[in-house]
Every structure is written in C-alpha cells, then in structure tokens.
Chain A
Amino acid sequence: MTLELNEDTMNYTLLIYENAEAFALRGHPDVEKRRAYWAAWPPYAQALREAGVFVAGAGLEPPDTATTFRDPHRRVQDGPYADTKEQLGGFFVIDVPDLDAALEWAARVPVAAGSVVEIRPNLVPPKAEAAASTARETLEARP
C-alpha cells in the first residue's frame, strides 16, 4: 500500500457560516438575487481546482432540514445542533502550504456581508503521522 503524504502541504477546512439573509437568497423570489447567489460558487470551486488545491467541498441544505442525534439514546431532533445566528451552509477542504495560503483562499469565498468563514487545520491521520515520524527518524538516524 502506498501512502500518499505530501509533507509540503496540509489540508485545511473552510467552514462557511451563512446568516439568514444569505440562506434566503438561495430561494429568493427575485430571480436576479437568486441567480447572483448561485452564480458565485462555481467560479470559486473552479479557481480552487485550477490552482490544484481542491480536495472536497459541499453546499449544505438549509439548517431547518437537519436532523440531530444526541447521546445517550440517540434521540432524534429536527433542526441543526447549533443555535447560532449564522449556520453552517457549506465547506471546502483545501490542500495548501500554510495558514497564510488558507486565509487567502478563505478571503476569496464569495460570502455575503454578515457571513463568516472559519479556517481549521485538518487532523493528519494517525497512520500518516506515524509514517511521517518514522520517515523523519530514519533520515535523522543516517550518519
């Protein structure tokens, strides 16, 4: 099994929290407003792909469509977990050299005013972490 591990880059997740106005634009009765919302996303995703940094991404259906499961009985509730003003509306996972590069891409996310982008480094899977550590030790052990 080959382990794909690029030590020069890391993955970051851009979490896009949208406010109620932004969610309302998705189905806005004014076709121009609705179109403007939807038209903004494909060029951004395309730019990520062209730069070779796109790993994954998804737009999420609105928070009121969410189903939430809570411990300990896996009780089912309608609606999202968080009771925050802005709600998760989608995300992108990107592969970039550092936080500065992630911030540059985050600043280009086509969000409307009032929305928020959270940038979080992704965990390096423990197996990859172990392999990287072994590789480093092997290199360091060389005379």
Chain B
Amino acid sequence: MKFSILSYESPDNFAARSDARREAHFGAVFRYIAELKSAGVFAGGAGLELPHTATTLRLRNGERLVQDGPYADTKEQLGGLFIIDVPDEATAVAWAKRCPHEPGRVVELRAHIQSPG
C-alpha cells in the first residue's frame, strides 16, 4: 500500500531552511530519506519551495483564474511530502511518526487510491 506523508510547516520551519539551522534541518530530512530507503519503503517524494513561490489556478464559471500565492490560508503550509510503500497502515503510521519533527511541523498521513488492477 502506498501512502503520502505530508509535512506541513510553520513560518519558522521554513526559515530554518536558510538560516543557521539549515544543515540540521536538511540533515534530519536526508537521514529520514536514507532510513526509508534502507528499509526498502521509499517510493518518491518532493520538497517544495516556499509557499510564496506558489501560483494558484482556480476554475470559476468556466474561466481559469491565476493568482500568486498558495491555495490555503493556514498557519502551516505544505513543505514537502514523502511517498512510502508499506504492507499495512500500522507500518505507515510508524514511519509517519519517525518523520523529523521540529516545533511547529504537523505531519499528515494519507493512503493513496489503489490503482485499478
């Protein structure tokens, strides 16, 4: 079963990407990816640029409207995701709990829709 581990990050978590905490911040992420890979469960992922770099496209009355900025107006914003392929949900929960936690970061686990066949 495939799952996405979605990492929602606070403004301070995003700041850690480029200040004195940069090495510790990315180091934790790379160690986590290495653990996923050595367990044979890593199935992909994406680190996302800062929320303000987002462009949002809405469909309204048949017209497509383009706006700068992310869709969600939430305090934490999606910062990246990890895709894992594991035998069951309990294993997915265990891996989600090991996702590097920094104060402010919220981790959401969501199952992928099974491809037909």
Binding site for B on A (CB under 8 A): 11, 13, 15, 17, 56, 58-61, 63, 65-72, 74, 76, 80-84, 86, 88, 90-91, 93, 99, 102-103, 106-107, 111-123, 125-126
Most buried by A among B6, B44, B110, B113: B110
- Taking the nearest CB of chain A, how far is it from the CB of B21, in angstroms? 14
25 contacts between A and B (CB under 8 A): A56-B46, A58-B112, A60-B110, A60-B112, A61-B111, A65-B111, A68-B107, A69-B101, A69-B107, A74-B101, A80-B110, A81-B106, A84-B73, A86-B71, A88-B6, A103-B55, A106-B55, A113-B61, A114-B59, A116-B56, A116-B57, A116-B59, A119-B56, A123-B47, A123-B48
Q: At the interface, yes or no: B38 with Cβ under 8 Å from chain A?
A: no
Contact A117 B49 (CB under 8 A): no
Contact B71 A116 (CB under 8 A): yes
